[in-house]
Every structure is written in C-alpha cells, then in structure tokens.
Amino acid sequence: MNHEINREMIELSIPHRSEYVSMIRLTVTAIASSMGFDIEDIEDIKVALSEACSNAIMHGGCSAEENFVVQFIREQKRLTISVSDFGKGYSVQTLQDPKLEELNEGGLGIFIIRSLMDDVKIKTGSSQGTSITMIKNLREEA
C-alpha cells in the first residue's frame, strides 16, 4: 500500500498534559504505517516522539492551559516530526550525551531520541521555546 507522496504536513496543537501523549502516539502510528514503515521502526518513532512530548510537557515552562505543537511531514522516503513548545528554552550546552555514572532520574530523553531516529535537530534559546525535529528515513525493501 505504497502511495506516491510528494509532501504532506499534519499539525496538532496539544495541551501541556501527559494524557494526550497516547493520542499523539496513535497518530504517528497511523502515519508511519501508511508510509510503509515496519513495526520496529514504528516502535522506535513512537518512543522518540513520546520522549520529545514528555520534554515539552515537563520542561516547556508553560501552563496546562497552553499548547505545544506536533508537526508531521510526510515525504516519499522519510517522516519528519517536530515537537515545539513556547517556554523559556535552555542552553544547548546542557544537551551533551549523559555519562551513566552521573545520571539522576530522568535526563536520558534527548539521548534516547538521538539513538532511535536517523537525524535530530534541536533549536532552543531563552524566550523562544524549544523545537526538536526528528527524521526517520524509510528503509529500502530488500
């Protein structure tokens, strides 16, 4: 069920509440499945997206009444997902890969996202919020 896709964008505005993460996971499952991703890649995408959404909810600096945005861009051979909040942002220097002996509870979200997705870009700054853009390429059939 492979359809020709040039570029399609789907955008969701989500309240800063964790109960909406399951809805976002269902949405990305439907999108990735329709593009031909295998179940292993879909699970990786869902975990990475959940981590990015959790970061937006926990660290976005916004109240529950405010929203963060999840954008899905479908292209022929890849899926690009961006999670953007409008909080205070943070220093990019704090995003270095963690050392296992220095870990507290949490702190692995960005590391997990980077390990599961093919490309990850983070834009952040004081007073501009944070945007995590993740790309998963569709594997060629063997």
Tens digit of each residue's pLDDT (9 = 90 or more) over 45-99: 999 999 999 999 987 766 666 899 999 999 999 999 999 998 777 655 555 555 5
Domain range spanning residue 69?
7-137
pTM: 0.84
Does 1 reside within a domain? Answer: no
Task: For residue 81, tell me if it sits in a domain.
Answer: yes
CA nearest neighbour of 57 among 12, 18, 113: 18
Residue 131 lies in a domain: yes
Structure-token pair, residue 1: 């069920």
- For residue 113, give the 3-state DSSP assignment: helix
Domain of 39, CATH number, reads 3.30.565.10
Give the pLDDT of residue 92.
Answer: 56
pLDDT at 91: 56
Q: Which of 141, 12, 137 is nearest to 72 (CA)?
A: 12
Over range 4-28, report the average pLDDT.
92
Chain centroid offset of residue 92 CA: 17
* DSSP state letter for 65: T
Least confident range of 18-22, 25-29, 40-44: 18-22
Number of domains observed in the structure of the chain = 1
